[in-house]
Amino acid sequence: MLKRAGKFQDAKDALERALAIKVAQFGADSPVTIGTILASANMAYEEGQYADARNLADRARQIQERTFGPEHYALAGSWIFAARLDIAQGRLDDAGTDIDRAAMIIAKGLPPNHPANIELLEAKADVARACGKPTDAERHLRAALSVAEKLFEQDYPARRAAIDRLTAELWAQGKFAEAERLQREELSNVELKRGSEHPSTALAVILGSSGRQNEAAALYRRALAVDERAFGPQSEQAAWDHFGLGSLFRRAGQFEEAQTEINLARTAWESQGHVLAANFALEQLALLSSDRGAPAEGVIYLEKMLNIAEQAVGYDSPALVAILAQLGRFYLIADRHEATEKILVRIAGLIGNTTGANSRVFECTSIAG
């Protein structure tokens, strides 16, 4: 709950307290501690603290191996997580090895249509994409969707997520018509089962990206009406609908409408305590300011966005790099060159010598000229 509200430090403190209690009660090597350790590893991963995430994940896996044996199906998730860490750190050969270990464990211990295969296939797609093999990534995502379709109804979250991942991959490969067809078919199935008032925001995104903004806007408004009736006008669901509309209007050059919708999203998220979600709105407002030829105004939004993120993840977290890079670009556009240089120095200090992260510094440096 704390993490969802953007209070990362409080969330980390709660996890550390929980782990300390479990260790005191059951011992440092007890399987009771595994869940808390993995939760801490996942939080470190989300913050870009990959070394800490790996240490925690390795610790949890060692306990699992001692408790259940190295080929127990509980180990599969740990190897998948290790593969995702390897991708983030550019260790693609290691990522492939870890995925093979997970696949072997799942094949031995679980049936082919077990939900664990969905996560495995999606992780295989991540590795394939990182290795520059989009065809393989698409194949794995289609297989994941096939499993999800056998196990879950149309509007079940795991099935919905599998469709969205395959759609995103098709879109990235330029297969626009196929991506839209996939979404339309799922929407038709959901409407047949649940009725015509089921939210359809995923399809609106696809139509918006395809350039049919009017149809996309109508779908977003339809989803907004449903979500407001079901969850309330200040709900998280309604906020995402407003955000989608605002982003769509910004791309269409309808700046006043865009600002109104994005601010409605921001207000709803802030009322719910979702400060990091509200940061998405601040970023869109900054981009909107740039579109309108007012980069100095965009700087104000991005500085506020950075301040919120610093409070959430800490001043020294590598998770700040993307925001800092964005702010550096805006400083440059606004002719604040000294501020741009300070941003570059800070980014370099945050990411150290990791190869993947350093590319971001080189990008910023080339922009700074």
Q: What is residue 311's predicted lDDT score, i.e. its pLDDT?
A: 85
Give the whole-angstrom CA distance, residue 214 versus residue 128.
Answer: 36
Give the whole-angstrom CA distance, residue 251 versus residue 131.
Answer: 31
Length of the chain measured in residues: 369
User: Two tokens at 138?
Assistant: 């698409």
User: Two tokens at 174?
Assistant: 């330029």
Tell me the DSSP string of 313-357.
H-TT-GGGHHHHHHHHHHHHHTT-HHHHHHHHHHHHHHHTT-HHH
Confirm if 130 and 92 have CB atoms less than 8 A apart. yes
For 26, which DSSP code?
A: H
Tell me the DSSP string of 245-264.
HHHHHHHTT-HHHHHHHHHH
| Inter-CA distances, 252 with 102, 217, 242, 249, 262, Å | 45, 11, 15, 5, 14
Give the whole-angstrom CA distance, residue 148 versus residue 130.
Answer: 23
**For residue range 123-162, what is the model confidence (pLDDT) as tens digits?**
999 999 999 999 999 999 999 999 999 999 877 888 889 9
Q: What is residue 203's predicted lDDT score, i.e. its pLDDT?
A: 67
Confirm if 127 and 95 have CB atoms less than 8 A apart. yes
Q: What is residue 367's predicted lDDT score, i.e. its pLDDT?
A: 44
Give the whole-angstrom CA distance, residue 285 versus residue 53.
Answer: 33
Q: Residue 309, SS3?
A: helix
In Å, how far from its chain's centre is CA 79? 20
Give the whole-angstrom CA distance, residue 86 versus residue 80.
Answer: 10
- Residues in the chain where the model's pLDDT stays below 50: 353-362, 364-369
Q: What number of other Cβ atoms are within 10 A of residue 58's Cβ?
A: 15
Name the pTM for this structure: 0.74
Q: Which residue ranges form the domains of the chain, and what is each CATH number?
A: 210-293 (1.25.40.10), 295-369 (no CATH)
H helices within the chain, ranges in order?
Answer: 8-26, 34-46, 50-68, 74-88, 92-109, 116-130, 134-151, 157-172, 176-194, 201-209, 213-231, 236-251, 255-272, 275-291, 295-313, 321-333, 337-351, 355-368
Q: Sign of dihedral through CA atoms 28, 34, 39, 41?
A: positive
> What is the three-state SS of 119-150?
HHHHHHHHHHHHCCCHHHHHHHHHHHHHHHHH
Q: Residue 112, SS3?
A: coil
Q: Sign of dihedral through CA atoms 282, 286, 289, 295?
A: positive
Closest CA to 47 of 18, 19, 97, 12: 12
∠ CA(2), CA(304), CA(50), 5° rounding?
50
In Å, how far from its chain's centre is CA 349? 24
Q: What number of other Cβ atoms are within 10 A of residue 369's Cβ?
A: 7
The Cβ-side half-sphere exposure at 135, using a 13 Å CA radius, reads 0
Confirm if 164 and 199 have CB atoms less than 8 A apart. no
